[in-house]
A and B are shown apart, each in its own frame.
Chain A
Amino acid sequence: MIKGNFIDNLPKVYGLYTGGFLVFILLMALLEQMGVSADTIGILFVAFTIFIYAAIGWLSRTMQVDAYYVAGRQVPAVFNGMATAADWMSGASFVAMAGGIYFGGHGYLAFVVGWTGGYVLVASLMAPYLRKFGCYTVPDFIGTRYGGNLARFLAVVVLVVASFTYVTAQINATGTIASRALQIPFEVGVWFGLLGILLCSMLGGMRAVTWTQVAQYIVLIIAYLVPVFWMSNKQGFGLIPQFVYGDAVMRITELEAMYNLSGLPAVDSPVAGLAALKTPHVAAGTGLAAWKFVTLVLCMMAGTASLPHILMRYFTTPSVRAARNSVAWSLFFIFLLYFTAPALATFTKLQVLDPNLATGIIGKSIAEVNALEWIQKWSSVGFLAINDANGNGILELNEFFMRGDIVVLATPEIAGLPYVISGLVAAGGMAAAMSTADGLLLAIANALSHDLYYKIIDPKAETKTRLLVARILLIGIGAAGAFVASLKLTSILGAVAWAFDFACSGLFFPIVLGIWWKRANRPGAVAGMLGGFIAGSLYLYWVAPAFLGNTPWMGIDHLRFGIIGMPVSLVCMVVVSLMTAEPDAETQAMVDEIRVPSGETILGSSH
């Protein structure tokens, strides 16, 4: 299947696949009508999709180095865009983003802005040049551009720390979804999720991950958009909800004033980890709040442009031009989900708040609310709770508590959609978490096998040994990630943002200046990576509630420690570069060469 003219047939193959998935959804809907239980449908959705990904992984198995590391550099721009979008959108984007906006209002939109705008940096500063370079991994670029094992090794360290922080959160998400859909304990679910992830990536490396990620993108985008469109049309919000929710936004502001959101006293949640609505939906702060918004945006953007599992996707395109176009496609495919999330958050909030809608619960009697089916179901699993603090028997805004995840997971039920939609959402969440975990695990394992093992430890290793080492590392790192995830260190797992801060503190300037500043040299790059990474990490240790928990300096909390790491990295790199000798003529010629698209890549197709 993955041979000969497979690349030419891609639109047909994935068209058939999408059609097949839609037929599968209809089949599930039919089964639901015939009285098959909701649990069975959930299991079928998750099991069927994982089976498909594993089959693609098996068909894409390879023993060639360039196929394993960069999918043979023949992934067309559009498909690489889909794969990047799936690689990018994690379980957190899929499940938690709308909930974050529900609770955080305008302030949380900093994530949406940051996680899209970062691609402008990827397109203009990084991707085309790294593609021309022809590297297999990001440390491969650092190691060759600056020379020397130390620079390469430091890049591997930053990559592993950033990506491992991120991957545990993803394995945790696959475990949560698998445990809920398949009715197995969380600790078992984590290992089950890992099994699925490894089936996709182990045999075929980047080639297998590419074709499974495209398949996963199709599942996740259908799973995210269908419920929103359906709900919007059912509730009469409009045909294309993303463009018409302005009125809903305005109405929420009215309702917040009516319920006296800002004047209500804080009430304790009866269940730990749940929150009541406290932040207004629209209002944007000035001064410190505006500063916090833009600093978070900057960290997420620079982190996007430094995270190796994203950058390495652009190593797989057939040309430099395709790499650039592919960044545009990636952002478009990401945009489809990201501009829907605020709409979903707004509609869900309106449905809960508005007394004129049948779904509204705030202001109703508590007995009446407790009788609702979705309230009973989700409170029985600890996702929502009610505490009538003032004892008046009426549900008020500060007495209704829920978890952010519920906005995506429970919306189909709040709006009264059939269960098949909930099963679809579970499959989508699983696809989002698996695709990101795959990309991250592969980035870590490739850096260790190619850069640490092959380039530093044993440069004479044969192809077969190299690929064997890569696979053993993949399993080992996956197992380590699953083990950490099964410990449920929630305070650490919660911080996906840390991965971005680690990446931008240590890697952003060494990569950018390696392309854009010929004078940048090895000592400078080493100082930049060390300085930025250490400064950022120390600040994180000093400020994070999980560690020392000191008061943040100028509002720079643990989500934004890249604001400390990046300038330190820049200053160290520039100062040390200028104090030491300029790079030799050969290196400068190499930089000239990566700046133009035509000609051979710097590194050969197998190296």
Chain B
Amino acid sequence: MGVKAEPWQTAEIAGPKKALLILKPEVVVAMVKRAKRPILIVGHLAAEDYSDDVKMIDYAIRMSRTATIPVVATAHMTTEFIKRGFQPAGWMPAMDIGNRLKDPEWKGLDGTGPYDLAMFMGLPYYMEFVILAGLKHFSKGLKTISLDRYYDPHASWSFPNLSVKDWNEGFKIILSKLGEK
């Protein structure tokens, strides 16, 4: 894995407060295990990136099933999930889920309470960048993780910029340590 905390899109500079680097996949595992109410938000690029063999959506489904994490599909991603025999917990525009996660009064998709960990993958980089910025500044008690293979400085935690191979291997470790069988 690389170790530089550089935004993937060169000019998307953030700070002073920037995401901590996920240098070991175990960090994600620990965050998920520690979270009481995690949620996974999956954008449309998850069905396209990163290669013919490695699609983020498949990892999202495996992660959701392994760790019992509800998935919110943004854009038209429900179609892709359903194609794969997976029913997301909800679907809504990325801006809407961002807006709700910002609200400490929101009771979540199941009406039982706010989430304490939001993980993102598959949104256009710049869109995820600004949504995570909104959450960094305006949410209360919410940690965020960018699970894409790009460093997103507005998350609480983010992978550095990774090759597809490194991302793939890292995610396999995450799934394994979360208890995937």
Q: Do A and B interact?
A: no
